[in-house]
Structure 1
Amino acid sequence: MTQLRTVQVLGGGSAGSSAHVRSLASGLVARGVRVTVCAPAELDRLYDYSGAGAHVVPLPRRNDPATVGVLRNACIGADVVHAHGLHASVRAALAVSGGVGLARTPLVTTWHGRPPADGARAGIVRLLERRTVRAAAVVLGTSSELVD
């Protein structure tokens, strides 16, 4: 039997989602799953994903064009990709949708909050949400308000 591998993706890394990923990484590694955490480098210093046994791939906080390529490479061979937050989910969806060896990689997305948006920005947020939902095999929300 081959060892399962998951990639956890963080965007800006709020305290809640960062701690959640630390907990997931620790629990998954303890169960024999290989875990890769893709997150801004400063989050590993704060939450010590590598100390939990995860391999860490540093990502810029914002939308650097190279980010999707870095994510795509990190996700090759993963059994599941789990993105935390809307921005991380959009980037992960782009990464798993276009790479060789990634076409069947399921995407799980967890929304830990909803970005505040008014006017034109609200329309863009809704568009990104729809794009993420269509790409994901599973969408989770951390509150009933988000699920609704």
Structure 2
Amino acid sequence: MRVAYVVGTTTGGTGRHVHMLAAGLARRGHRVVVAGPREVEEQFGFREAGARFVEVPVSDRPHPVNDPRAVLSVRRAIRGADVVHAHGLRAGALAALARPRRSPGDPGRPGTGERPLLVVTLHNALTAGGFVGAVYGVLERIVARRADRVLVVSPDLGERMGALGARDVRPAVVPAPPLRQARRTPGEVRADLGAGDRPLVLTVARLAQQKGLETLLDAAAGPWESPAPLFAIAGEGPLRGELARRIAAERLPVVLLGHRDDVPDLLAAATVAVWASRWEGLPLSVSETLKAGTPVIATAVGGVPGLVGDAGILVPYGDPAALRAAVRKLVADPGEAERWGAAAARRGAELPGEDEAVRSALAAYARS
């Protein structure tokens, strides 16, 4: 089978997921091509996974001039494919517009090279409003009405796509990669962060609007009993300057760690890991935390409740008091934290792995 993946600008979970699928299919003898911006090949190395890479300028924002060119580039890249699997709303809409029309008398069978099956995985929900939100609403309708199958990372995304006319909506299987062992002891990590004997509250997230970090800072402001926990945020993004200014102005017990390649070390040292997100699908960082056996506190949004199950504490989005109370519960009682850590480890062991994800994708590629 010939499978073409279309991916847009990504620096995280989407790129890793496509790399995993491409490698899994290549090992099974399928012919794989990945079409996307040059920087995603430089970061994720799809060629090393056994795929052919074709550079396509898929930007992260709609553009009236560049998008028609991108459609033509995608059309060339997917020529001859039996299945086109696009990841993300932008890539999905471009792939839908690029897919050739079925010629008269062509039933669209695999191998005809005329009408490939179009599968789109949606990894994120729309959280922006105004003009950008309106444009992305149009892209949603294109994907819903033109894709043969839509894979979603949360029930609310599935309901939305179904309401927009999607014919076949299925849950996506997006596992985290195997978690490597920590290379440093928790004591070494805590000393490096200047945590001392204070509880360490870790957040792994892009510094962006979706992640609800303003609520996290509200919760971190306290009040706390001594010693107050240290909140550490690992990640980069457009809100870094704004967050840093607020942390300094209010003297919050928060440190911005920037991009880190030692997340397993941070998880092993953390008392608890926290997400205050507006919305999440199947966040790989939460999956990694469960596998590490670190207690989880997260907002009950998107796909998080289904991912965490009863192995973590879920709080409403936008409620800093509830978030603070959940953190206080665990940092004040080591036994309670240990129980939630054990529950997280059990849940982490139950999560699907790479083989399940590849099998799920192949099932979505089958023509019924």
**Same fold by TM (over 0.5)?**
yes
Task: Indicate yes or no: 2:97 matched with 1:94.
Answer: yes
Q: Judge conservation of contact 1:38–1:58 (CA < 8 Å) in 2.
A: yes
> What's the TM-score, normalizing by structure 1?
0.88
Range with bigger deviation, 21-30 or 89-98: 89-98
Aligned residue in 2 for 1:66: 69
Aligned residue in 2 for 1:104: 115
Determine helix, strand or coil for the equivalent of 2:151. Answer: strand
Give the root-mean-square deviation of aligned CA atoms: 1.9
**Aligned equivalent of 1:44, options 38, 41, 44:** 41
> What's the TM-score, normalizing by structure 2?
0.37
Aligned residue in 1 for 2:10: 13
In the comparison of the two structures, how many residue pairs are matched? 145
Range with bigger deviation, 24-33 or 11-20: 11-20
Determine helix, strand or coil for the equivalent of 2:132. Answer: helix
Q: Distance in 2 between matches of 1:97 and 1:124?
A: 23
Amino acid at match of 1:80: V
Deviations 1:93-140 (A, max 9, x none): 111045977652111000000232213433322221011111101001
Sort the Cα spacing of 1:42 and 1:120 in 2 relative to 1 into closer, same or farther, 3 A: closer
Sort the Cα spacing of 1:15 and 1:83 in 2 relative to 1 into closer, same or farther, 3 A: same
Q: Judge conservation of contact 1:72–1:99 (CA < 8 Å) in 2.
A: no
Q: Distance in 2 between matches of 1:14 and 1:116?
A: 19
Structure 1 portions without partners, runs of 5+: none
Determine helix, strand or coil for the equivalent of 2:133. Answer: helix
Aligned residue in 1 for 2:135: 124
Q: Judge conservation of contact 1:8–1:35 (CA < 8 Å) in 2.
A: yes
Q: Judge conservation of contact 2:126–2:133 (CA < 8 Å) in 1.
A: no
Aligned residue in 2 for 1:30: 27
Larger RCO, structures 1/2 (Cα 8 Å, 6+ apart) = 1
Aligned residue in 2 for 1:115: 126
Determine helix, strand or coil for the equivalent of 2:72. Answer: helix
Aligned residue in 2 for 1:147: 158
Range with bigger deviation, 42-51 or 102-111: 102-111
Q: Distance in 2 between matches of 1:19 and 1:114?
A: 19
Identity across matched positions, percent: 39
**Aligned equivalent of 1:138, options 149, 155, 160:** 149
Q: Distance in 2 between matches of 1:12 and 1:102?
A: 27
Sort the Cα spacing of 1:43 and 1:99 in 2 relative to 1 into closer, same or farther, 3 A: farther
TM-aligned CA deviation for residue 73 of structure 1: 1.1
Range with bigger deviation, 50-59 or 138-147: 138-147
Aligned residue in 2 for 1:80: 83
Q: Judge conservation of contact 1:84–1:110 (CA < 8 Å) in 2.
A: yes
Q: Judge conservation of contact 1:13–1:39 (CA < 8 Å) in 2.
A: no
